[in-house]
Structures are given as C-alpha cells and as structure tokens.
Amino acid sequence: MLSLLELSRVARVLADQWRGARLDRLVQPSELELELHLSGGETRDPDDRLCLLLSWRPKFGRASLRARPQKAPSNVLALAQFLKPRIEKARLREASLRGGDRQLALVLEAREAGRTQILLSLMGPRSNLYVLDKDDVVLRSARPLSDTRRDLEIGRPFWDPEGGPTKEPEDRFAAVPDAELLAAIESEYAPREDREIEDRLRHQLAQALKKQRAALERKARTLERDAAATEEAPRLERMGELLKGHLKQVQSRASEIVVRDFETGEPVTIPLDPTLSGPANLDLLFKRARKAMKKGIRAAGDLEAMRGRLDALDALKADLEAIEAEDEEALLAFAERADVVRLLDRYAPRPKGPAARETKPKKVWKLGKRELPTRLVPKRYRASGGLEIWVGKNDEGNDMLTTRLARGRDLFFHLEGSPGSHVVLRVEKGDPPEEAVLEAAELAVQFSKQKNATRAPVHVAEIKDISKPKGAKPGLVYVHRGRTLQLRRDPARLARIADARIED
C-alpha cells in the first residue's frame, strides 16, 4: 500500500490540481474500492476528467488514477447506495492527510446535503473507508468496524488512532512529476493486484474441485460397500433355505443353530435372534436377504451416476488446467459457469459481513401481484436448447407449478403409477429438442419413488391437457391426453442435468 510520504503527495496533488472539481458520478465496483469521477476544478478546464480510485484492499490500498473506469455492478453495493444522495454533484473542497498517518481525507460539499468527509484509512489488514459528517461523526464504514476499529461506533465522533508509521516513510515515485503521480501509482499497483486476484481465484477453483472430488469419492466408497450387499443376499437366502428344513430343531432362546448343508455336506452355523421363534427367524433371514438385494441394486445405480459426476468433475479440472497463466478473461469466464459457481459457493463462499447482507438482492418470485413463498418455488434446471425444466418441491408446489405457473404448451412429465414431483419443460416456440425431453423425463424419475429404476414409463402431456379436480388433495391432477415415454435411464444425462441446476 502507499506509504505516508506517497499518500501525502497524493493529497497535495488533489488539493492543488483538483480542488473545486465536481463529482459527476461514483461507482463501487467491489466491496473494497470506490471510484469518484471528477471533472473541472478551480485551476482546470471544465472538460478535464479524473477517475479517482480509492482502494482499501489490505495489500494494495491506494488513491490513484484509473485509466479505464469500471462498470457499475448490476446490484448497487451498500456504500454506493449510502453515498450517492450525499455527494453526487458535490464539489471537492479539501484534500489532506489526517492525524499524521496514512489517512486521506476528502471533503466534498453538496448544495443540499452540505459537507461530507470521505476518509481513506490505509492501515494494512485494518484498512477501511469511513464516511464522516461535518462534525466528524461516523456515518458509515465500508468494512465492519469490528474488523478495523473496534474503538469507533456509528453515530459517534471519529478520532485518529494513536501512534503512527513504525518505519521511515519512503517515496517510490520521487522521480515522477506531480502531474503524473496518480497514473504512475495505478501502473505500479494494478498489475500486481490483478495477478494476486487471478492467483487467488485459480487456487480457490483448484481447491473447490479437489474438495468436491474428495466428497464424491467418499460417497462412491459408501455406495461400493452398499453395492456389495448383493453378494450377501444369496448367502442369507441359502441360510434361510437350510433353516426351513431344520425348524423343528430350533430350541427356545437359541442364538444360533448348526446344520449340515445338504449340497456340500459341510456344517453351517446360522445366527438366530433368541427373542424370536424359529419361523420368525426364518422370515427375518429372507427379509434381510431381500433388503440386501434391494440395497445393492439401488447402490449400484447410484454408483454409476456418481461415476458420471466424477467424470464431469475431471473434465472441469482439465478445462481449468488448460487455461493459460496470463489468460485472465478465460479464467473469469470459467469461474462464471453455473456448475463452477455452485462449487465456489459451497467451498469458497464470499464473506457475509453486514455490507454483504445489506446489498444481497432479495430474490422474490411473484405470481401477478402476489409474492410466492419459498416452499412453492420450483427447482429449475437449464435443459438442452436453452430451455428450462421446473420441478415441484412438494404437493403444494406441484399444484402451483402445474396449475398456475406452467403455460399451455409446456410439457408435463410424471412417472406412471408412482408418487413423485411434477416436472414441467418450458416450451418456447416449436417442438423442444428431444434431448431436453429426455432430460425432463430423467428428472421425473429421479424425483419419484422409482428413482433407482433403470427403466421407467414416463407420461408426457401438454399442460393444457392437465386438470385438477375440485376438492382433490394437493398434488393430484388428471391427465386427459399425452403419450408414454419408455425411458432407459442414462447416468451421464442425469449427472449433466443435475449439474445444470439454476440457483434461486
């Protein structure tokens, strides 16, 4: 970050060259920086422009000239929302250091709002930007006060921290003329900051992929153990068959019985539940055998889907490794992919401080003028051809989706003869791609009681052919026409559409 001497020069340049400049616009590109777009001034032409960057990023805190102004984010951040009515169209009246330390004070005066002081405090990990009124009362801070100055309070006067720089200040820009100082500072800091941000993002991406693979591998190992239950089923069935022929020999409260295998002639020990009778133990053995077989078959299907997800994850890792070290644009594009965003949100979430909570836009679904409760909002997936697939979360959600949200030509999917979610493929124009239809059918099976089936009959009909009987229980509808699709399950397709979830 800038030294005391360097920041002192910045204050002098702003005071000498830009005093009286008008603030035309302010932009907050991120939680750790603010741009003030100034024009004119007492000693300058009215058409002169300055994009003054104020950054309180701990390692790269600075005040400099940003050659290319950043675009304002689609959701205006909290600090910008707070400042706009107070300082937009204001004039820069003063620029100075405060408290003999790295604190750049900019005083802006607006006709109606009066004087407001923006204080850029460069204090290493405790760097921050404060907004003070004309009486030095703290109105706002960019970062939480608990992270930077616990001795300050919103609504109370600001005071300068005790002490000062612990080492002799240096001026790395001593050879740079004052007129070029702000641009020189940005030329020095911006590339280093970009590299660090890129390196951090690349590291976060690599770690997220690594953690996701570890999590999937743990699940796969569990599924492999469960799939091995199919090997246990024949042994249990065999013991049941042997016990059936020796029921009269089972003694009361016995914990086991030894019988001879009539095929091999070898003795076989059959464990028993001493609290159950012989016939009850026989039923228990066959029940355990059936349960083991079902468990193994179910796990085998889930394991195949899990391997598809692992393959997709390996493909993501290969895509990341293929991005060249200096290709920032490609790295950012990769990080914005929906499947990658979900991984980052899970394994490298952004800090959720007070500012983040205030600026997070409220995501609301509306039906006409009525807001839709979260429990009724369907799950959404991006299907082939850019279409969306909506899935009801519960019986009420199924009703809302099928009878209120879906449109006439949208396609309705439901597994025949089995309870499950209503699934709707949103149709734009013409016939939807066949792959999108298969993806919707996959989700209809996945969100039903037959999720582990390898084949399943899925009924497909247009929404206009669906009706709900008056007084029927939630989730019950009548299908008047349509067709039955005999779906052959495809784990890779299921993994692909599952990863295309649109986050609400």
What share of residues in the chain are helix, strand, coil (percent, to 5)? 40, 25, 35
What local confidence, expressed as pLDDT, does residue 147 receive?
Answer: 92
Q: Which of 300, 255, 297, 303 is nearest to 276 (CA)?
A: 255
Look at residue 54 and give its three-state secondary structure: strand
Residue in the structure block whose two tokens are 């799950």: 379
pTM score of the predicted model:
0.52
> Of all helices (H) and strands (E), which one includes residue 139?
strand 138-141
Chunked mean pLDDT (size 10), the chain, 504 residues = 92 96 94 95 93 94 91 87 93 94 96 94 95 96 94 94 70 93 93 85 92 92 87 90 90 92 88 93 93 88 88 91 82 86 83 41 54 83 93 90 90 90 92 94 94 92 91 85 93 91 77
**Quick one: 26 exposed, middle or buried, by C-beta within 10 A (0-12, 13-18, 19+)?**
buried
Task: Render pLDDT for 375-403 as a digit per residue (tens, 0 to 9).
Answer: 888 999 999 988 999 999 998 889 989 99
**What are the distances in angstroms from CA 451 to CA 219, 339, 441, 448?**
17, 23, 11, 6
Contacts of 408 (CB under 8 A, 6+ apart): 462, 463, 464
CA dist., res. 246 & res. 194, Å (int): 78
What local confidence, expressed as pLDDT, does residue 305 receive?
Answer: 87
CB contact at 8 A, 343 and 335: no
**Quick one: 54 exposed, middle or buried, by C-beta within 10 A (0-12, 13-18, 19+)?**
buried
For the chain, the average pLDDT equals: 89
96 DSSP β-pair partners: 105
Q: Is the dihedral of CA 267, 273, 274, 277 positive or negative?
A: negative
What local confidence, expressed as pLDDT, does residue 329 receive?
Answer: 78
The CATH code for residues 4-164 is 2.30.310.10
Q: How far is CA 388 from the centre of its chain?
A: 19
Parse the chain into domains and list their residue ranges: 4-164, 190-359, 362-502
